Structures are given as structure tokens and as C-alpha cells.
């Protein structure tokens, strides 16, 4: 019997058998999905961390820029106080003042400090004349003031007096619209104002952006206060940014300063670093009543963080391990299933064999009982009964042997005929002539044909062709249709046949029992030249009568 515990376990695992390779792959996908979700979460946390770091960095950058601007404005306020409290400030006084404040003149990222008086455009010639009278022969205002503008602010002092700064002396800053806008705004607000992006006079031959911070000098405070001029500081934007960078310690960020909105045309200065651009953030900054936009970007060395790579690697390994375990489980379940199917097939085969054996035994016993009953009626004494019954049972046995050799699947028609005529062919094969195609009969049909041939051969041995040396037996068979064969028995060369006046057992066996088993009529004729018999046998396909094939043992 099939083990109940095994059967129950296999039934519980039956869902494995639908997709034996799909379940391990599904487990791999689930584990991989978990790994991917983990990596996404790690990367998201990393992005938030970098964004937080960027926010901190941009605050530091903004603070550093604001600090540098404030430091320069403080110096400009001090210089404005000097010019506001004195009617005349000599070149040496200004030089000493700037030297005390800015040391070598480039403190806090500026190119120095200058003074530009506010003049009416019509007063510029007289201003130049007075300067020449004092010995400044080389001073002249350029470009020449536009009377329509109404004012002029020529650079008069600019310390330190470097080669680049000398080029700016005499330059009318009021002639440039960007500088003019900043000075007008400073005069109106009475506060320091930063200009927009300009090209410094000092850098006419260099491709460098710059800006200026103007501090108005107010005289006669009160209602009659006027703007005397402007103290200012020019800046190269890149040098100013580098100076501010000294105030924060992160060198792994890229930054840019824009005049107003963050557009390529408004770029004032930037610091670029090698590597792949990462996240970016921007912030507006008020520098001297002027708006800058600060953009800070970090750099990524790789597409995934180190933690994500580690998680991805071990997650992939774990996914493969889960898939391997799932494959082992499904393989075990499949093996159990095959064992169950084999045991079930074996049980089915045993049941079929038992039913088939019962059927064969019943048929055989029925044939034996019929043969015994008919033999008893025709027997003259006990010896005759025993001899006849034994011969007929041997005929059944011979057919049984043929069927046993093929596991009761079928029996060749030629072998059935030959086995029944074998006793009469020993040394006298020429007495029997057989021919016909290879036709295989069902077990019951083979036994019926064997009985018929036995009765015909016994009759021929006693009264017919086999009773004399000259006698011959001709047995031929052929296929009439795909499912019907005909056997033709003909005797010749024997004694003259006289038709019997009464029916004997052999005739009854052939015309009744055999005909009934074969479900066809038997044409038995007692002709003077010899007995002739034609009987038709059904030819059934193997699947209609063979026993259930033995199932292969599980590997």
C-alpha cells in the first residue's frame, strides 16, 4: 500500500509541481526585489544626506561671501568718513590711510580702494585745469563726459598704485551704465551698493569678470546734505570667490555666483572641480543692496554609494542562495511526486493483473467445464473420457504457453496453429502446409482458435488426412479487412470422407463454443476429398486487449 504519510506530504506540496522551475525563480525575484528596494532606500537616504550637506555648505558659502563684503564695506565706511570730515585729502594721506587699512592693498579679495569725486559734466574741464596747476599734468578724464548724463565721477585716487590700477586713474565711471546705476542707487539710499557684473578697466586685455562696491560720501548732514563723491573698491570676481573660500573648509563642492538669476549670461565667478556633477542647490544673497544667486553642487565619484554596492552584492548572493534552496525543495517534492505516481501505477497494475487473472481463470474454468461436460456425454468409457479430456486441456495449455510468453498481450496466429499441429509434424513436416501473414490475436480469440485447430487436427488424425501417409493438411490464413481475418483448413490425400449422421463433440465445440467466442459463423464441410473448414477471427488493436504496461521504476 502507498504510505499514507508520504501521500499526505506530497498532496500538501502539490502546488510545487505546476511550475517546478518557476517557484525558485520567483523566490529569486522576490529576494532581488527586496535587495533593490533596500538599495533604493539607501540611495534615497544618501541623497537626502548629500542635500543636507549641500544646504549646510551653501549657508557657509553665503556667510563667507557676506563676511567678505561686510569687511570691505567696513573699510569703505572708514574711508568715506575721512573724505566727509576733510575738505581736502592729499594723495599721500590717502595712501597712508589705505596702507593702514589694507596692508598690501588686496585685503579681503579687493584690488584696492579708490576715490572718485562727483562732478557736473560741465565742470570737468575746470577740474582738470586746476589739477594741472597743482602739477598733475598727466591727469585727464576719459572717456569725455556726456553732457546729457549731467555728471561725471572720474577716478582720482586708487591705492595701491599698481600698474593695473594706474590704467583706471581718470576713468569716468559715470559713463558706464552698470557703474552709474550702482552709484545712483548708493546716492539715493545713502548706503553702500554693489554693482552688477562689469569688465574692470584694469583688465581690459583679460577675460575676467568683476564688480565694484560704492560707498557715497555725504557732506553737510541734514536737509542740505549732498554727495561729494564715492569711495569704492574694485574686485576681480574669481579672486573674491577664492578669498571667501578660505573661510570654509569643504574643497569638494563646486560653486558659482550669478548676477541676479542663475543664467549662463549672468555668471560672475565659479569654481569648477573634476568629476561627475551631483546634486545642486541655490540661494539668493544680498551683497551691498544687490542680489546675487549662489549655486553650490557636490561631486559624485560613482553612480552608487559604497553601502549600496555592499548591499547589492550580498543581496544578490542571498537571492541566489534562496533560489538554490527553493530548487532543492521543489526537486525533493518532484521526486516524492514521481515516487507516489510509481507506487500508484504499481498498485493499479496489480489491481489490473488481479482482475485479468480472475477473468482468465473464470474463462478457462468455463471452457474446461464445457469441454468436460461435452466429453462425458460423448465418451464410451472412463479411459476414452480421460484421454479426450486430457488432450483438449493440453490444447488449452499450449495456447496458454504462447500467451504467457507475451505477458498475455497477444499471440501470433501462425504460432497458435503450429503449436496445435506440432505433435503431427515431428519428422513429417511435409504433411502440413501453412502460410499466411503475421496476424496477432487477442488472448481469448487465440484460445478459441487453438481449440478449433486442436479438434480439426484430432479428427484428421483419427479419420482424415493425418491418418494416412499420403494425407496432407493445408492451413492458410489471410486478412479480409483491417479488423477481420479468415482461417482456411483443408484436408487432402486421406480416406474418403463420409458425412457423419450425428453430431459429435468436436463439431459442437467448433460450431458452437468457438463460433460463440469468436462472434462469427464457422463453415465446416465434410467433403469426399477431405474436411474443409473456414472460420473468421476478429483482429483487435493491441490497446483493446493487452494488459496495462508495467510502469517504469523511478530513477
Cα(267)–Cα(207) distance, integer angstroms: 13
Cα(521)–Cα(527) distance, integer angstroms: 18
Cα(544)–Cα(440) distance, integer angstroms: 12
Per mean pLDDT, which of 105-114, 161-170, 322-331, 353-362 is the most reliable?
161-170
CA nearest neighbour of 396 among 363, 440, 373: 363
Residue 153 scores a pLDDT above 90:
yes
SS3 551: coil
Percent of the chain residues topping a pLDDT of 90: 26
Whether this prediction's pTM lies above 0.85 is answered by no
Q: What is the pLDDT of residues 329-347, one digit of tens each?
A: 777 767 767 777 777 777 7
- 3-state SS string for 44-81: HHHHHHHHHHHHHHHHHHHHHHHHHHHHHHHHHHHHHH
What Å distances lie between residue 283 and 48, 49, 59, 198, 534, CA to CA? 18, 18, 8, 22, 115
Instruction: Look at residue 363 in the predicted model and tell me its pLDDT.
Output: 59
H or E segment at 360? helix 306-378
Domain residue spans of the chain = 16-118+153-301, 346-544
DSSP string, 154-220: B--EEES--HHHHTTTTBBGGGSHHHHHHHHHHHHHTS-EE--SB--GGGTTS---EEEEEEEEEES
Residue 455 scores a pLDDT above 70:
yes
CA nearest neighbour of 96 among 82, 86, 110: 82
Instruction: Look at residue 396 in the predicted model and tell me its pLDDT.
Output: 64
- On the CB side of 421, CA atoms within 13 Å amount to 27
Distance linking the first and last C-alpha atoms of the chain: 20
Q: Are 219 and 228 in contact (CB under 8 A)?
A: yes
Residues 346-544, CATH architecture: 2-Layer Sandwich (3.30)
What Å distances lie between residue 120 and 123, 145, 152, 177, 228, CA to CA? 5, 9, 6, 17, 11
Per mean pLDDT, which of 123-132, 177-186, 218-227 is the most reliable?
177-186
Beta-bridged to residue 510, according to DSSP, are none
Any idea what DSSP says for residue 428?
A: -
DSSP string, 186-205: HHHHTS-EE--SB--GGGTT
Burial pattern 225-240, b for ≥16 Cβ within 10 A else e, equals: eebbbbbbbbbbbbbb
Q: What is the pLDDT of residues 468-493, one digit of tens each?
A: 888 889 999 999 888 889 999 999 98
Question: Which residue intervals of 13-142 are DSSP H helices?
Answer: 22-85, 91-102, 124-133
Strands 522-527 and 113-117: unpaired
Residue 377 scores a pLDDT above 70:
no
Q: Are 51 and 323 in contact (CB under 8 A)?
A: no
Q: What is the pLDDT of residues 35-79, one digit of tens each?
A: 888 888 877 887 788 788 888 888 888 898 999 899 899 999 999
Name the residue with higher pLDDT: 271 or 354: 271
Question: Per CATH, which fold does 16-118+153-301 belong to?
Answer: Beta-Lactamase (3.30.450)
From edge to edge, which strands make up the β-sheet containing 193-194? 157-159, 113-117, 226-236, 210-219, 193-194
Amino acid at each position: 500500500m502507498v504510505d499514507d504519510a508520504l501521500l499526505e506530504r506530497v498532496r500538501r506540496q502539490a502546488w510545487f509541481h505546476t511550475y517546478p522551475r518557476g517557484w525558485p525563480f520567483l523566490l529569486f525575484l522576490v529576494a532581488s526585489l527586496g535587495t533593490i528596494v533596500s538599495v533604493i532606500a539607501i540611495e534615497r537616504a544618501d541623497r537626502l544626506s548629500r542635500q543636507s550637506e549641500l544646504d549646510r555648505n551653501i549657508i557657509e558659502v553665503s556667510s563667507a561671501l557676506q563676511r567678505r563684503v561686510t569687511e570691505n564695506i567696513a573699510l569703505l565706511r572708514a574711508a568715506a568718513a575721512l573724505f566727509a570730515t576733510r575738505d581736502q585729502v592729499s594723495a599721500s594721506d590717502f595712501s597712508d590711510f589705505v596702507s593702514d587699512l589694507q596692508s598690501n592693498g588686496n585685503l579681503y579679495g579687493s584690488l584696492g580702494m579708490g576715490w572718485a569725486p562727483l562732478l557736473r559734466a560741465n565742470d570737468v574741464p575746470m577740474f582738470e585745469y586746476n589739477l594741472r596747476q597743482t602739477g598733475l599734468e598727466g591727469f585727464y578724464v576719459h572717456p569725455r563726459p556726456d553732457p546729457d548724463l549731467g555728471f561725471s565721477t572720474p577716478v582720482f585716487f586708487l591705492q595701491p598704485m599698481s600698474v593695473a590700477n594706474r590704467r583706471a586713474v581718470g576713468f569716468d565711471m559715470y559713463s558706464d551704465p552698470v557703474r552709474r546705476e550702482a552709484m545712483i542707487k548708493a546716492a539715493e539710499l545713502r548706503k553702500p551698493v554693489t554693482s552688477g557684473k562689469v569688465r574692470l578697466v584694469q583688465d581690459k586685455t583679460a577675460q575676467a569678470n568683476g564688480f565694484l562696491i560704492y560707498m557715497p560720501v555725504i557732506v553737510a548732514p541734514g536737509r542740505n546734505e549732498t554727495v561729494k563723491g564715492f569711495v569704492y573698491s574694485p574686485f576681480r570676481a574669481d579672486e573674491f570667490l577664492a578669498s571667501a573660500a578660505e573661510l570654509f573648509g569643504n574643497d569638494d563642492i563646486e560653486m558659482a555666483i550669478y548676477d541676479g538669476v542663475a543664467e549662463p549670461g549672468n555668471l560672475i565667478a565659479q569654481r569648477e572641480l573634476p568629476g561627475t556633477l551631483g546634486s545642486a542647490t541655490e540661494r539668493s544673497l544680498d551683497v551691498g543692496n544687490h542680489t546675487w544667486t549662489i549655486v553650490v553642487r557636490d561631486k559624485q565619484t560613482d553612480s552608487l554609494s559604497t553601502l549600496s554596492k555592499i548591499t547589492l552584492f550580498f543581496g544578490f548572493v542571498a537571492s541566489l542562495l534562496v533560489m538554490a534552496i527553493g530548487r532543492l525543495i521543489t526537486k525533493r517534492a518532484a521526486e516524492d511526486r514521481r515516487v507516489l505516481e510509481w507506487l500508484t501505477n504499481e498498485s493499479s497494475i496489480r489491481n489490473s493483473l488481479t482482475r485479468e487473472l480472475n477473468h482468465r481463470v473464470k474463462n478457462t474454468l468455463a471452457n474446461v467445464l464445457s469441454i468436460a461436460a461435452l466429453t462425458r456425454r460423448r465418451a464410451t468409457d472412463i479411459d476414452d473420457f480421460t484421454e479426450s479430456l486430457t488432450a483438449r486441456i493440453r490444447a488449452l495449455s499450449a495456447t496458454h504457453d504462447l500467451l504467457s510468453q507475451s505477458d498475455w498481450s497477444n499471440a501470433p496466429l501462425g504460432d497458435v496453429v503450429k503449436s496445435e499441429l506440432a505433435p503431427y509434424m515431428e519428422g513429417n513436416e511435409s504433411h502440413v502446409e501453412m502460410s499466411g501473414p503475421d496476424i496477432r490475436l487477442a488472448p481469448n480469440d487465440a484460445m478459441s482458435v487453438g481449440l478449433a485447430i486442436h479438434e480439426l487436427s484430432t479428427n484428421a488424425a483419427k479419420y482424415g488426412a493425418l491418418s494416412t501417409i499420403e494425407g496432407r493438411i493445408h492451413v492458410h490464413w489471410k486478412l479480409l479487412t483491417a479488423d477481420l481475418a479468415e482461417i482456411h483448413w483443408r484436408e487432402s490425400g486421406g480416406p474418403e470422407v463420409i458425412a457423419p449422421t450425428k453430431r459429435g463433440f468436436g463439431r459442437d465445440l467448433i460450431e458452437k463454443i468457438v463460433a460463440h467466442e469468436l462472434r462469427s459463423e464457422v463453415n465446416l464441410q465434410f467433403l469426399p476429398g477431405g474436411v474443409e473448414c473456414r472460420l473468421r477471427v476478429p483482429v483487435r488493436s493491441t490497446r483493446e486487449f493487452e494488459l496495462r504496461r508495467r510502469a517504469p521504476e523511478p530513477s
